Amino acid sequence: MRRGMRHAVLAGAVAAVLAMLAPLAALAQVGMAKPWQLGMQEAVTPVMESTNAFHNFILVIITAIVVLVLVLLVICMVRFNHRANPTPARTTHHTLLEVVWTIVPVLILVVIAIPSFRLLYHQLEIPEADFTVKAIGSQWYWSYEYPDHDDLSFDSLLLEDDTLAERREIDPQAPRLLAVDTPMVVPVNKTVRVIVTANDVLHNWAIPSFGVRIDAVPGRLNETWFRATQTGTFYGQCAELCGNRHAFMPIEVRVVTDEQFEAWLTAMRDEGPEEATRQVIAAMASAPKAVETAAVDEAR
């Protein structure tokens, strides 16, 4: 009887833990950090894929260096301590050793530099863009302009309290401190040139899944680019300390199909940002798997 009660209590505890973790599992999606995540966010652009590959390459090198240094330290502690080696050697120079520990680090740096410069060129050399979006940082929100689409412009503000609750009625996975009222919307598999500036102080437009992070400087235009290879919602934040509400300046980008993008543009012109956002959220929620599969197939 007691054993049965223990099993029941254990089962109840497991169920309670699973219930507590359910909201975290709902947030485990591409485009944002996951609970207990190790490593970087999943790459959805060619630049971020190259960044991940370079990161893994460097990780192998630094791991090998750490292991080598650890082995050398252990050897020194075991073989050359006072007990094992009471009479220390008087050697002060070893030509071969000095040449090796000078040449090997140089070779390691060269091996790192070649893919590093290649990645830097890939990030900075903007290919021919399908269209341009201008991102303007202000204290404390982002504004967007689409100069290639009848100069469409809108502000993108953080959803808080009641407005976040309203958004979750149509988008249950809308995350706190990341969801905005009017997200930036772009089509999948299109090269987007992003011009970034600021109205007041330094900001930084950063989306980890895109491998994009660029300063927004008042009076200056910086530019970057991305090409998202799958549909979905991707989040970022201002990455430059810009004031007391720096932590409440999120970025939300929705990558959609060409048809959904054209419908969003039409709704923005005819019905306004609120209705256009509702429509694009509904369109993405109606067939997310089919949309994502089609985007990946097109990318291939």
Cβ-contact 195, 134 below 8 angstroms: yes
User: What is 131-299's CATH number?
Assistant: 2.60.40.420
pLDDT, position 12? 53
Place of tokens 């300046």: 249
Q: What is the DSSP string of 56-69?
A: HHHHHHHHHHHHHH
CA-based end-to-end distance of the chain: 60
**Alpha-carbon torsion angle 198, 202, 208, 210, nearest 10:** 30
Which uninterrupted H or E stretch holds 189?
none
Token pair for 162: 């009641």
Each residue's pLDDT expressed in tens, for the chain with a length of 300 residues? 445 555 454 455 444 433 443 343 334 456 888 888 888 889 999 999 999 999 999 999 999 999 999 999 999 899 888 888 888 878 788 889 899 999 999 999 999 999 999 999 999 999 999 999 999 999 999 999 999 998 999 999 999 999 999 999 999 999 999 999 999 999 999 999 999 999 999 999 999 999 999 999 999 999 999 999 999 999 999 999 999 999 999 999 999 999 999 999 999 999 999 999 999 999 998 855 544 444 444 444
Token pair for 191: 């090269």
- Identity at 253, one-letter amino acid code: V
pTM score, whole prediction: 0.79
Q: How far is CA 45 from CA 16, 41, 270, in A?
A: 38, 11, 31
Which uninterrupted H or E stretch holds 127?
none
Domain spans of the chain, in order of start: 46-84+94-124, 131-299
pLDDT, position 29? 57
The rounded Cα 146 to chain-centroid distance in angstroms is: 23
Q: For CA atoms 96, 101, 102, 107, give the dihedral sign.
A: positive
- Identity at 145, one-letter amino acid code: E
Name the phi and psi angles at 200, rounded to 5: -135, -70
Token pair for 13: 């505890």
pLDDT, position 64? 96
pLDDT, position 297? 46
pLDDT, position 292? 44
Spatial distance between the Cα atoms of 236 and 247, rounded to a whole number of angstroms: 11
Spatial distance between the Cα atoms of 124 and 15, rounded to a whole number of angstroms: 50
